[in-house]
Amino acid sequence: MVSQHLQKKRRLAAARAKRRRARFLAPTALAAIGIVAVLILAGNFFRGGEQVTTSDVSQRNGRTLGSPAAPVVISAWEDFQCPVCKAANTQVLDRLIAEYVDTGKVQLQYRYFAFLGPESQWAAEAAEAAAEQGRFWEYHDALYNAQAGENRGAFSRERLKAIAEGLGLDMARFEAAFDSGKYRQVVEEEHQEGLDLGVVGTPTYFVNGTPVQDWRDYSAFKRLIDHALGDHLAAH
Amino acid sequence: MPWETTLQRTRLVPGALIALSAAGLAVSAYLSAAHFGGPPLTCGGIGGCDTVNSSRYAYFAGLPVALLGAFLYVTLMALAAAWVIRGWDERLMTAFWGLALAGALYALYLTYVELAIIDAVCVWCVTSALIVSACLGLSSWALLSAERPEAAPVQAPERRRGPAGAGSRQRSRT
């Protein structure tokens, strides 16, 4: 008797629980899906519609240049020892920066593809140590200006420190970071990441993930960026 | 009801949920810190963390997405702690489940963005996605077990006076 009574109670409770589940779980799941949909749509909206403030323009945040809210990202895979990279910077990138980065349309991301030898590796590690002090882009420019052949001492460890000193970096902090070798892995991993993305030489540029076929062709480069910006506008 | 006791009196499940939320909070705090001048991200030998974390998808209306994750995990942790402190409450657990579902869906979207758009994978972001999915899985199991009496061991009536736990207090309320 007792067990029959218990079983009946259990059956009733099970039915009640089922009704409870129907009452709460389905609307909760719908609400969760709705929230995520709103988050994704609103995120896309904000990324496109966000006003770029003056302080965002050319903000120097690590190895990126330009607004993090910019709709288009150019990733620049370069090696500091590569003379063609230097040429690309002066002939093409500086113009793109003035036209697209400083106007908040594009964010430029510098990526290490240190493949030309030990001095490439050291230069990238030193640049990372400068980035720690928020001075990456100054150091980047100074490195390109100091180019003098490959692995012939232009970027010896001593020279790299002297370049940092010339820029007035906090030398105790710079040397601690550089000498510890703590950025060695970062640079090596990034090299591997570049290889995985299909980078075979420098400079290699990607516009929102699409490789730029010939960076020397400025109008083609611009078309690719404008196309990416157009896609973005069309999406809104 | 007695069948709820095994699952709901035990602190193993809410304890695991608290631990998972705490781990998720640690990961998202680490990722958030990188946005506010924290240490550079260590990327577990894979790379790509900085690419992902500095991409435009890492921001929601100017706020780092990692910070949203941190808020989510704090809320999940509070709800799981409420289970330990105040006892099983199906509404609170449903709220936990709903938030974990939203978190897991959003993490799924972000993982898609990493793979398809940014072309880089951030191991910490994937860790967070796995953690929030585990929260979803565990809370789904907790909710469903609570509603399937036949799946839980039967408790003899004379043992119902046993150690009063969270489950028994809940019974008097419903």
Fold of B11-153: de novo design (two linked rop proteins) (1.20.1440)
Question: Which chain A residue's Cα is nearest to B115?
Answer: A209
Selected residues 129-168 of chain B with any CB under 8 Å from a CB in chain A: 143-144, 146-150, 157
Type of residue found at B105:
L
Structural domain includes residue A54: no
Name the token pair of A148: 């003098």
pLDDT of residue B136: 96
Domain count, chain A: 2
Q: How many CB atoms lie within 10 A of CB A146?
A: 16
- Per CB-CB distance under 8 Å, the chain A contacts of B76 are none
> What's the gap in Å between the CA of A144 and the closest CA on chain B?
23
What pLDDT was estimated at residue A53?
Answer: 32
pLDDT in tens, A1-38: 567 888 888 888 777 766 666 567 888 999 999 999 99
Angle at A233 between CA A232 and CA A235, to 5 degrees: 65
Question: Is residue A175 in some structural domain?
Answer: yes
Which region, left, alpha or beta, applies to residue B117 given φ > 0 means left and ψ of -120 to 50 means alpha? alpha
Q: By percentage, how much of chain B surpasses pLDDT 70?
A: 70
Q: How many CA atoms lie within 13 A of A96 on its CB side?
A: 31
Would you state the structure tokens that stand for residue B29, as one six-digit string?
């705090």
Contact B8, B88 (CB under 8 A): yes
Query: Per-residue confidence at B148, pLDDT binned at 50, 70, 90?
Result: very low
Size of interface A-B (CB pairs under 8 A): 113
- The answer to whether residues A207 and B119 touch, using CB atoms and an 8 Å cutoff, is no
Strands (E), chain B: 59-60, 63-64
- How far is Cα B53 from Cα B126, in angstroms, rounded to an integer? 12
| Chain A CB contacts of B45 below 8 Å | 185, 189
B8 CB neighbours in chain A (<8 A) are none
Look up the domain containing A32 and give its range.
Answer: 1-49
Residues A116 and A223 in one domain: yes
Q: Looking at the structure, tell me whether residues A126 and A64 fall in a common domain.
A: yes
pLDDT tens for residues A114-133?
A: 999 999 999 999 999 998 88
A6 contacts chain B (CB < 8 A): yes
Instruction: Report the CATH number that the domain containing residue A154 is assigned in CATH.
Output: 3.40.30.10
- Residue B43, Cβ neighbours under 10 Å: how many? 23
Task: Tell whether A228 is covered by a domain.
Answer: yes
Helices (H) and strands (E) in chain B, counts: 7, 2
The predicted-structure confidence for B2-31, as pLDDT tens digits, reads as follows: 445 555 556 788 999 999 999 999 999 999
CB proximity A38 to B under 8 Å: no
Q: What is the largest CA-CA distance in chain B?
A: 62
Short-list A76, A61, A35, A228, CA closest to B64: A61
Q: A52 pLDDT band (50/70/90 cuts)?
A: very low
**Looking at residue A208, what is its pLDDT?**
87
Burial of B161 (0-12, 13-18, 19+ CB in 10 A): exposed
- Measured between CB atoms, does B117 come within 8 Å of chain A? yes
**Which of A10, A29, A49 is a domain's end point?**
A49
Domain borders along chain B are 11-153
Q: Residue B53 has what pLDDT?
A: 75
Query: Do B97 and A50 lie within an 8 Å CB cutoff?
Result: no
B90 interfaces chain A, CB cutoff of 8 Å: yes
CA A139, chain centre distance (Å): 18
Percent of chain A with pLDDT over 70: 87
- Residue A44 contacts B where some CB pair is shorter than 8 Å: no
Asked which of A94-98, A179-183, B55-59 is least confident by mean pLDDT, the reply is B55-59
Residue A179 belongs to some domain of the structure: yes
Q: Which residues in chain B are contacts of A183 at CB distance < 8 A?
A: 40
Clarify whether residues A36 and A68 are in a common domain. Answer: no
- Asked if A29 is an interface residue toward chain B (Cβ–Cβ < 8 A), one would say yes
Q: Please indicate, yes or no, whether residues A115 and A200 belong to a single structural domain of this protein.
A: yes
In B, which residues are within 8 Å of A69 by CB distance?
56, 59, 62
Q: Is A75 in Cβ contact with B51 (below 8 Å)?
A: yes
Nearby residues of A84 by Cβ (< 8 Å), 6 or more positions away: A202, A203
pLDDT of residue A33: 94
Same domain, A33 and A85: no
Residue A20 sits in the same domain as residue A68: no
**A234 pLDDT more than 80:** no
Check the CA dihedral B27-B29-B35-B38 and report its sign. Answer: negative
Q: The pTM is what? A: 0.49
pLDDT band at B152 (very low <50, low <70, confident <90, very high): very low
Q: Verify whether the Cβ–Cβ distance A69 to B48 is below 8 Å.
A: no
**A18:B147 CB<8 A:** yes
